[in-house]
Amino acid sequence: MAIDFQAEVTKRRDAMMADLLALLRINSERADHLADAQHPFGPGPVQALETFLALAERDGYQTRNIDNYAGHFEYGQGDEVLGIFAHLDVVPAGSGWETDPYEPVLKDGKLYARGASDDKGPTMACYYALKIIKELELPVSKKVRFIVGTDEESGWADMDYYFEHSGVEKPDFGFSPDAEFPIINGEKGNITQYLHFSGSNGSDFVLHSFEGGLRENMVPESATAVFSAKKARFAEIETELSQFAAKNDLRTELTQDNDLFTITVTGKSAHGMSPQAGINGATYLASFLSRFSFAGAARDYLNLAGCILHLDYYGEKTGVAYTDTKMGALTMNPGIFRFDAASDDNTIALNFRFPQGTSSETIYQQLTKLQGPERVTVSKHLHEPHYVPPTDSLVSTLLNVYEKQTGLKGDEQIIGGGTFGRLLERGVAYGAMFPGYENTMHQANEFADVEDLYRAAAIYAEAIYELIK
């Protein structure tokens, strides 16, 4: 049976866009301060989940909401289950947007909104792909379970809860529409480790606070430090900061209130898997401040952040560097900085994407050797490296569909990012970004190319059908 999936998508373009815009208007950032028993990650993720499941019910699916952590609906019958894993939560919008991140804007063929490319746009493209199969009543021999989570951008507590409480077994194989074409069949390991500092803080310069970063998996766009020094030093600090900003292409702000100084440094956010693609405002600020005569815990904190962690994308100065011939190099993102002079526990969160051949324990042992931190702790959310070989029929089928629809060669790819594809032993990530696409995930002015979303929907439709027919 020859089916023109691109033509089928074209018939549904307006409906798909309308549903996507409704989803994008929901601020589904995790908000722990608003969390309760009915809203495990805050009200926004729940609203997005309920909205998505309502779309599925409108289109004739029976849905399940697993206590507002995650939900699913199913299509087809068969002993084998294809899992499609997507997520409706988003990283914080942050600053630097030219438009309202939660009021989608279409401009020059691009759809600007937080979540447009990660992951609401691809989720909707995949949803409409399955909708096409359902509406055409194509014959299938397997079941599809479409699963949506609400905590992918944080600790994946949504999926932990889902598999513990849903009463369903994991799908036999599947994919997540949350990355790139032609395919992501390998993902590095992912772990966050924390450096802890305490001790006295007194000298000619006294650091009162240092804050930067929104999430561990985002390069901190900006950071702010408040410190004391003799007010006569203002002109000197102002001149040096101006020179530092010009040299490093940074935006800076300096204010003074008698002996109290406040400096903000603004760089550029990026996905934590590619720290080299961003400009870490926090390590740049620490690099600037480390030239002054801070003492004790403040000196240790600023020196480590500004002299060791600064620009150390691959962990070379930190001593954790490792490269695997297949998976590539370990990367390190110093993602969250919190220093308060009144606290005896000041921290730096380091997010690592590590290949096979090294481990979280190896990284931990090396970090304990650093000068300055009094201790190191490790997040409980560890993801080991994941790989599905090209010989697997899942991988080969998805690559064949991609090649057929695009005319481009499909090769395996391994990334530092983590997707729900790794939830399954036979799980991969598949689209929706195409080769050469500008990746704005986790950045200000995130966008999705509208035509690419429609192209992806057609690829997803044929791919799903080939996997379950």
Residues annotated as catalytic (active site), given as ranges: 89, 152
Of 261, 219, 222, 272, give the one whose Cα is nearest residue 245.
Answer: 222
Of 379, 318, 325, 327, give the one whose Cα is nearest residue 353.
Answer: 327
Q: How far apart are CA 88 and CA 384, in angstroms?
A: 24
Amino acid in position 254: L
Q: How far apart are CA 390 and CA 468, in angstroms?
A: 19
Quick one: residue 71, left, alpha or beta (phi over 0 = left, psi -120 to 50 = alpha)? beta
For residue 277 the two structure tokens come to 């693609």
For residue 202 the two structure tokens come to 């007194």
> DSSP of 218-265, one letter per residue?
B---EEEEEEE--GGGHHHHHHHHHHHHHHHT-EEEEEEETTEEEEEE
CA 39 to chain centre: 21
Q: How far apart are CA 151 and CA 159, in angstroms?
A: 8
The dihedral over CA atoms of 86, 87, 93, 99, expressed in degrees to the nearest 10, equals 50
What percent helix, strand, coil does the chain show, rounded to 5?
35, 25, 40
CA dist 61 to 133, 136, 168, 173, 271, Å?
13, 15, 17, 21, 34
- Let me know: does 418 contact 90? Beta carbons within 8 Å: no
CA dist 76 to 61, 62, 71, 85, 87, Å?
11, 12, 17, 17, 22
Could you give the maximum distance between any two Cα atoms of the chain, in Å?
Answer: 81
Q: How far apart are CA 331 and CA 124, in angstroms?
A: 31
- What are residue 324's DSSP bridge partners? 328
82, containing H or E segment? strand 81-87
SS3 142: coil
The CB-side HSE value for 238 (13 A sphere, CA atoms) comes to 8
